[in-house]
Amino acid sequence: MKLLIIGGVAGGATAAARARRLSETAEITLLERGPYVSFANCGLPYFLSGDIAKRSQLLLQTPEGFDGRYGVKVHLRTEALEIDRTAKRVRARTTDETGVVSEVWFAYDQLILAQGGNPILPPLPGADAPHAFKLWTVPDMDRIHAFIKDKGPKTAVVAGGGFIGLEMAEAFHARGLKVTVVELAPQIMITMDREFAERAKSHLQEHGVTIETGVGLKAVLADSHEVELSDGRKLPADLVLFSVGVRPELTLVKQAGLTLGESGGLLVSDTLQTSDPSIWAAGDMVEVLQRVSGKRVRVPLAGPANRQGRIAATNAVAAMTGKKATMKYQGALGTAIVKLFDATAASTGLSEKAARDAGFDVGVAIIHKDHHAGYYPGGQQLTLKLVYDKKTSRLLGAQGFGLEGVDKRIDVAATALLGKLTLDDLAELDLAYAPPYSSANDPLNLAAFVAQNDVSGFSPLITAEQAKAAFRAETHLVLDVRNLGEYAQGNVPGSLNIPVDELRGRLAEVPHDKVLFVHCKIGFRGHLAARILIENGYTQVFNITGGYLSMKGVFYG
Ligand code: FAD
């Protein structure tokens, strides 16, 4: 029985290895159009930054290694050009190292597609200049590495403020270039909410990276080594990197007439079967269920691609032996993480915006807390945001930013999302604690307490954006309960400042007929103030979640 796999990196290589573990008799062939099989594309930025010293560390397998260990025949530089579904065969063109081209038909009983995606290259004047790059493959990486070594560029412009663009901004910075990131959207990291994008932007700027948001690239000016922006400004750019997104590779599946899905990816069932029962698919090219919203989406990330490769192989091998496909892919959360110099930003599930778009009755709780016990040396402030459904108290998503401890909280939140946990469950999570690691109430527990208090009405929350949008001077008052020194350093114009410890004695200054938007620096004193006010008969009290720190970019700055 013949299993043919197209695409030999995350999804395809995983599928090949898994298929062999399931069947010693299957004839497994893998076609890869590039010169390498199973390379670590996620590691490419870290070779360019110098963090990964040896290029060879990125090359996880060779055709010989694959054959030796798994008995998988790998054909490199071999591009599949046509699927003949009736005859069950694939036409492929091989270009050998000397440039000689040959075409061969490969027969299959079952076919797995793991072709990934392609980086989007905007059709701008100058985009094909020799100093303009994309980063998707090892040869792309080699070109950038050689350019930096040979030409000694001093300035770089990265078009696109997504995770790869930001990793590359850091890599160029590490190589001594002065870097500007240009992002068309009003914020970088558009899969995360505004306050995290703001924190990341400030952090990158503190490390010397310039960030331009809300402006696009209009042209690459090769002669003057500049780029022109959509607002007419010019920036120096000895090197330009396009990192503006990825499109699924669908040329072959369109030619083969396989059904596409509503988000533009290849449609697959929960067993990862395409509209042709003998063809399975995995990775960046498919669309899958978003586990929280239930919508069909594309999640171009390595984790889902690897796990899908394993499932597609399991079901394809079962089909080869006439068995039913039983292994299911239940959907992705889109959990993602990025290193920004010494900081980390991460998210899982739905952002606040995505949750609102999906029609949930959204609640938001933001906390800023030391990542471990405050009295133990080395505590670093961690910002956590929970997004939840106020009707059911179910967790919908989480985001984090900080120097330490972000990955752990977001991974626990991802597990909670998979288990459809509620805020009550999260509040009760028994997490590992000793002072060097966490607090007796882990930041995740604490965020859940804050959210519980919101849902129950014990201490209602409002986001900075909601407060700003609702605010009318005649009917609303911003009550700042920080101390006088903090207030003097910066405040919302028109706000009333009564430090929380004086509030009980100064209630006469707080009007009963106004909606009160209370805030402190991070949220805790705002919560205490909200409780004092509510206990004293004030009925329209909201604590601005995350406090003054989360109001940046909305009420000030
Ligand atoms: P790929 O791994 O892209 O493999 C597809 C392969 O199919 C390609 O090698 C391609 O040449 C081949 N192919 C396509 N068409 C044909 C054809 N017709 N014939 C033969 N071969 C074909 N994800 C994360 O989760 N975390 C990260 O930190 C992260 N960092 C990244 C950094 C970079 C620079 C890049 C480029 C990606 C990163 N990703 C990251 C994304 C992750 O690498 C992808 O989601 C994952 O590799 C997708 O796996 P895949 O198997 O679907 O596609």
CA atoms of 280 and 271, how far apart (whole Å): 8
Q: Are 84 and 107 in contact (CB under 8 A)?
A: no
CA atoms of 107 and 296, how far apart (whole Å): 32
Per-residue pLDDT reduced to its tens digit, 306-334:
999 999 999 999 999 999 999 999 999 99
CA atoms of 118 and 278, how far apart (whole Å): 25
Per-residue pLDDT reduced to its tens digit, 132-178:
999 999 999 999 999 999 999 999 999 999 999 999 999 999 999 99
Per-residue pLDDT reduced to its tens digit, 395-414:
999 999 999 999 999 999 99
Is the C-beta atom of 45 inside 6 A of ligand 1? yes
* Residue nearest ligand 1's atom 38 by CA: 42
Q: pLDDT confidence of 557, banded at 50, 70, 90?
A: confident
- Mean model confidence pLDDT for the chain: 97
Which one is catalytic: 1, 22, 40, 42?
Answer: 42
Predicted confidence at residue 167, as pLDDT, reads 98
Per-residue pLDDT reduced to its tens digit, 427-442:
999 999 999 999 999 9
**Average pLDDT rounded to a whole number, residues 72-85:** 98
Place of tokens 């079967």: 273
In terms of Cα–Cα distance, which of 238, 274, 284 is closest to 254? 274
Is the C-beta atom of 136 inside 6 A of ligand 1? yes
Q: pLDDT confidence of 78, banded at 50, 70, 90?
A: very high
Query: In the predicted model, is pLDDT for residue 495 greater than 90?
Result: yes
**Average pLDDT rounded to a whole number, residues 271-283:** 98
Place of tokens 């970088």: 188
**Average pLDDT rounded to a whole number, residues 485-503:** 97
| Cα angle 178, 184, 188; round to 5 | 65
* Residue nearest ligand 1's atom 36 by CA: 136
Q: Which of 115, 140, 311, 411 to mutate to test the pocket of ligand 1 (most atoms within 8 A of CB)?
A: 115
Per-residue pLDDT reduced to its tens digit, 179-211:
999 999 999 999 999 999 999 999 999 999 999
Q: pLDDT confidence of 493, banded at 50, 70, 90?
A: very high
Is the C-beta atom of 114 inside 6 A of ligand 1? yes
By DSSP bridging, strand 296-297 and strand 286-289 are antiparallel
Name the percent of the chain lying above pLDDT 70: 100
CA atoms of 533 and 351, how far apart (whole Å): 31
CA atoms of 427 and 125, how far apart (whole Å): 54
Residue 85 half-sphere exposure toward CB, CA atoms < 13 A? 15
**Average pLDDT rounded to a whole number, residues 89-116:** 96
Two structure tokens written together for 557: 């700055």
| Cα angle 482, 488, 493; round to 5 | 85
Q: Are 482 and 497 in contact (CB under 8 A)?
A: yes
Is the C-beta atom of 302 inside 6 A of ligand 1? yes
Place of tokens 């103030």: 529
* Distance from the alpha carbon of residue 482 to the mean position of ligand 1, in angstroms: 49
Predicted confidence at residue 235, as pLDDT, reads 97
Say whether 520 is catalytic: no
Is the C-beta atom of 10 inside 6 A of ligand 1? yes
Q: Which atom of ligand 1 is nearest to the CA of 13?
A: 51
Query: In the predicted model, is pLDDT for residue 371 greater than 90?
Result: yes
Name the percent of the chain lying above pLDDT 90: 98
Q: Tell me, what amino acid is at 4? A: L
Specify the pTM: 0.96
Per-residue pLDDT reduced to its tens digit, 507-522:
999 999 999 999 999 9
Specify the 3-state DSSP secondary structure of 307. helix
Place of tokens 């270009």: 95
Is the C-beta atom of 300 inside 6 A of ligand 1? yes
Q: pLDDT confidence of 553, banded at 50, 70, 90?
A: confident
Predicted confidence at residue 33, as pLDDT, reads 97
* Distance from the alpha carbon of residue 355 to the mean position of ligand 1, in angstroms: 28
